């Protein structure tokens, strides 16, 4: 393989989104949906120590737009199989860590090219398995490509770190070396992008991985593992285990040869992983590292000096894009009392125009929520909201074969309300009145979370104040609170939103590396 040099690569650029209004692009997406539908119901195996294998029992993932339709049949790994996966990854780690960084980066670039070639296919898998609409699936696949391209370049940068100071009579240096075996636990809501980012960051830095996908999105994960192998990654570097986290998650996290855990998901699960990883196990010779990205209760502030039409569009897309099932979704709109009534009227009108239905139909802005449990939880919160606020839009489930819920707005929500504080993870928005901008900031910061936030205002002084005082990991001015771009908006939150990992940023790979300082006396 020819030597890969960072200076020989073009500058990183975010992958452009496909424009589905172009007839040939729309036709290609429709054809991909037909091709993928013909593969629904296939069985997928575990990948342990370079071999595909079965487990004693199976489970199925389903299409949330049509819950009678099975997307994939998967192996239900046992704790014993999970332990085997960690052991296998540990055995291969000494081999993989010695593969030159340039070769590992080249494999990432090859994976990016394969994803680019199969973009429509991966879009289709997400449309069927997790209910992403066409634009949401397209953004997910594009972000996965971005992670491969970006982290390949970042690894080339880290292999030649800046020189340290030289002590007289010595040759001094610092090298970055990999950690060991990483357990990768991605979420279902970004089943390709976040899986790709977490996995490729660990692999390109020389670690081996055990991937445990969400049981709501195992097929997308299986397809991605197949793609990594096709790109040239050695099978023993990647262990793939599927099954409920309640059954195998603890075994993966507690294993003494697990060196780090990379997790994205709920606050409750993230805190449990952090607690388990902190327990020393017999034979464990390190403190495990946990990279955790968890929930959010994200607010958009609409100031008295905002462009209201722009603010309405930003709140709508942030609250109801992918049915509000994003940790970055806007679930609180905090509006200055001077424009509250006008803003609310405009928002209700825009929300009532949202179309809801099967994700494969490009005419639908919203698809289904992920499963029956999520649907019931969201409906329960809507009942709570009826006691805590004024229901002004939506509030009902939509009959059909999928898990559909109307986009819902509660007005006049007090800061003491549960729907003001608790993460609902669905298409439910609480609108709260603020006395002025300072009060709006106070309300926005009244949360145990601190992931994303937006401010709509034309006032430069208020913008600067928000930059200083709005306590979130990702702050946006006069734009939506969702849609962080790799390399542009390094992503990660404060407080109960996680460890502020800043995925897609220049510091992220350091989470998968450790620094070795070397001082050599010149003889």
Enzyme catalytic residues: 293, 327
| CA dihedral sign, ordered 12, 195, 187, 515 | negative
Q: Decide if 96 contacts 234 (C-beta within 8 A).
A: yes
Give the angle subtended at the CA of 368 by the CAs of 364 and 373, to the nearest 5°: 170
Closest CA to 6 of 118, 129, 159: 159
Q: Decide if 278 contacts 110 (C-beta within 8 A).
A: no
The C-alpha atoms of residue 318 and residue 454 are separated, in whole angstroms, by 10
Q: Decide if 482 contacts 504 (C-beta within 8 A).
A: no
User: Which strand (E) or helix (H) includes residue 29?
Assistant: helix 23-37
CA distances (Å), 287 to each of 243, 276, 340, in order? 26, 12, 50
Residue listed under structure tokens 């990702």 = 474
User: Radius of gyration over alpha carbons of the chain, in Å?
Assistant: 23
| CA dihedral sign, ordered 351, 353, 357, 358 | negative
Instruction: Provide DSSP, 375-429.
Output: HHHHHHHHHHHHHHSEEEE---EE-SSS-EE--EEEES--TTSHHHHS---SSEE
The C-alpha atoms of residue 325 and residue 423 are separated, in whole angstroms, by 10
Tokens found for residue 215: 């049981």
The C-alpha atoms of residue 233 and residue 108 are separated, in whole angstroms, by 9
CA distances (Å), 507 to each of 18, 184, 379, 463, 492, in order? 29, 19, 40, 26, 11
């Amino acid at each position: 393989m020819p030597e890969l040099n960072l200076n020989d690569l073009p500058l990183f650029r975010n992958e452009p989104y496909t424009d589905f209004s172009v007839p040939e692009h729309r036709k290609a997406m429709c054809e991909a949906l037909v091709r993928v539908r013909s593969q629904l119901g296939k069985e997928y195996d575990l990948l342990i120590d370079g071999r595909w294998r079965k487990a004693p029992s199976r489970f199925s993932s389903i299409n949330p737009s049509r819950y009678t339709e099975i997307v994939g049949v998967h192996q239900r790994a046992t704790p014993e199989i999970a332990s085997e996966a960690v052991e296998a990854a540990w055995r291969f780690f000494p081999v993989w860590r010695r593969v030159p960084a340039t070769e590992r980066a080249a494999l990432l670039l090859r994976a990016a090219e394969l994803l680019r070639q199969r973009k429509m296919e991966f879009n289709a898998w997400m449309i069927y398995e997790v209910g992403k609409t066409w634009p949401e699936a397209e953004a997910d696949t594009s972000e996965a490509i971005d992670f491969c391209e970006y982290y390949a370049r970042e690894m080339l940068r880290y292999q030649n770190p800046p020189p340290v100071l030289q002590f007289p009579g010595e040759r001094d240096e610092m090298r970055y070396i990999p950690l060991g075996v990483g357990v990768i636990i991605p979420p279902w809501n970004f089943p390709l992008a976040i899986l790709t980012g977490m996995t490729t960051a660990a692999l390109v830095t020389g670690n081996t991985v055990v991937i445990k996908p969400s049981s709501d999105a195992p097929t997308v994960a299986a397809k991605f593992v197949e793609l990594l192998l096709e790109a040239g990654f050695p099978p023993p570097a990647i262990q793939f285990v599927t099954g409920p986290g309640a059954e195998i998650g603890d075994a993966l996290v507690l294993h003494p040869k697990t060196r780090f855990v990379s997790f994205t998901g709920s606050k409750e699960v993230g805190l449990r992983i952090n607690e388990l990883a902190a327990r020393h196990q017999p034979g464990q010779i390190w403190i495990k590292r946990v990279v955790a990205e968890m929930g959010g209760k994200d607010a958009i502030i609409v100031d008295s000096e905002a462009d209201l039409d722009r603010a309405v569009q930003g709140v709508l897309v942030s609250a109801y894009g992918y049915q509000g099932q994003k940790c970055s979704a806007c679930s609180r709109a905090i509006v200055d009392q001077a424009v509250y009534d006008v803003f609310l009227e405009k928002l209700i009108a825009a929300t009532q125009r949202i179309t809801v239905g099967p994700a494969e139909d490009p005419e639908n802005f919203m698809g289904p929520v992920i499963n029956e449990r999520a649907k019931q939880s969201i409906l329960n919160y809507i009942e709570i909201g009826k006691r805590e606020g004024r229901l002004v839009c939506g509030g009902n489930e939509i009959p059909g074969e999928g898990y559909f819920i109307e986009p819902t707005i509660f007005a006049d929500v007090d800061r003491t309300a549960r729907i003001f504080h608790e993460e609902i993870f669905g298409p439910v928005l609480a609108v709260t009145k603020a006395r002025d901008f300072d009060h709006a900031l106070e309300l926005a910061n009244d949360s145990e979370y601190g992931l994303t936030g937006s401010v709509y205002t034309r006032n430069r002084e208020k913008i600067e104040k928000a930059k200083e005082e709005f306590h979130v990991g990702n702050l946006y001015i006069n734009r939506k609170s969702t849609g962080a771009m790799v390399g542009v908006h390094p992503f990660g939150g404060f407080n109960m939103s996680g460890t502020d990992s800043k995925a897609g940023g220049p510091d992220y790979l350091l989470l998968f590396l450790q620094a070795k300082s070397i001082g050599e006396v010149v003889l």
